[in-house]
Amino acid sequence: MSTARKVIKCKAAVLWELNKPFSIEEVEVAPPKAHEVRIKIVAVGICRSDDHAVTGTMMTPVPAILGHEAAGIVESVGEGVTTVKPGDKVIPLFIPQCGKCRICKNPESNFCLKNDLTNPQGTLQDGTSRFTCRGKPVHHFIGVSTFSQYTVVDEIAVAKIDAASPLEKVCLFGCGFSTGYGSAVKVAKVTPGSTCAVFGLGGVGLSVVMGCKAAGAARIITVDINKAKFAKAKELGATECINPQDYKKPIQEVLKEMTDGGVDFSFEVIGRLDTVAELSAHQFIHPFIHSKTIFWAFPKSTALSYAKQRGEMKGQKI
């Protein structure tokens, strides 16, 4: 029996209050309105940003259904939807792509102005929610809300993928993989033959490694205190893996010695204040190379100092 144009009752993990556990609830998911898509979520990942929302580090209205890294199948579409149809495999996009705003038209950015990240409202584009629980509206999370068996997103926040794609794997494209891979290929624009340092070998860090390899980096030096991650890192493209605990000297000095003065590109994929501070000070970046440093997931209320004048005079970028 078709569920199109009907309210769907399903299970979802609802965050009723900040710093409280999720509650598995039966929720009602309304049909999609014009230019909206309702998706059956098949596979979902858990990202650090979801935890940031739980703790309040990342602002989001509550109650809310979190989750933003997922893949699923289109269940139904609203009036005017042309890019996907029922049955299509898709990935929800927490950064939409309207294709019309000045940011979408700028080749140097993809941070569409219609996102719900910079000033979170917890709704879809029309300012309302499609979720109800216990008779009360429940907020969306950055336009996707994938900790639910069904969700509704705006058409500009969904990407159709190959029908043969294994959803349990490609769900990582929704955030972790694209974040890491894109930071190397699209943001830093790693160059062929370059030397890269990657701090942190979680899912995003490993994706950075893959991006550096795809971009043609000659050396990809990874840094992590968990040696159990080294085999996978090398399988994905790391040329060297080092553990700071194996050295008596600061890791920036180790990297300088390993690379004849410093690396070309560095990526901090941990969110630790000490490593962020080291990278922001360019303590192991080669002083006369147009280098780039990419940071992820700053700790809450972190303050950084940066020798900006010195860095700019040497052609460094951050």
What's at 271, amino acid-wise? G
Yes or no: say if 291 and 265 are a contact pair by the CB < 8 Å rule.
yes
Token digits of residue 223:
């840094």
What's at 245, amino acid-wise? Q
pLDDT the model gives residue 285: 56
Q: What is the C-alpha to C-alpha distance for residues 92 and 38, in angstroms, rounded to an integer?
A: 10
Residues with catalytic annotation?
47, 49, 52, 68, 175
Ranges of the chain whose pLDDT falls below 70: 272-318
Yes or no: say if 177 and 102 are a contact pair by the CB < 8 Å rule.
no
pLDDT the model gives residue 119: 85
pLDDT one-digit tens code per residue, 75-101: 999 999 999 999 999 999 999 999 999
pLDDT the model gives residue 316: 41
Token pair 């990942």 is found at: 45
The helix (H) or strand (E) run that includes residue 131 is: strand 131-133
pLDDT the model gives residue 280: 52
Token digits of residue 218:
């000659």
Token digits of residue 304:
């950084």
The torsion defined by the Cα of 56, 93, 84 and 40, in degrees rounded to 10, comes to: -40
What CA–CA distances, in Å, run from 282 to 22, 187, 258, 291, 307?
A: 40, 18, 16, 9, 9
Q: At 191, give phi and psi (nearest 5°).
A: -100, 150
Structural domains of the chain in order of their starting residue, each with its CATH number: 8-174 (3.90.180.10), 180-301 (3.40.50.720)
pLDDT the model gives residue 277: 57
Q: What is the C-alpha to C-alpha distance for residues 87 and 74, in angstroms, rounded to an integer?
A: 5
**158 alpha-carbon distance from chain centroid:** 15
pLDDT the model gives residue 317: 47
Report helix, strand or coil for 227: helix
pLDDT one-digit tens code per residue, 240-253: 999 999 999 988 89
pLDDT > 70: percent of the chain: 85
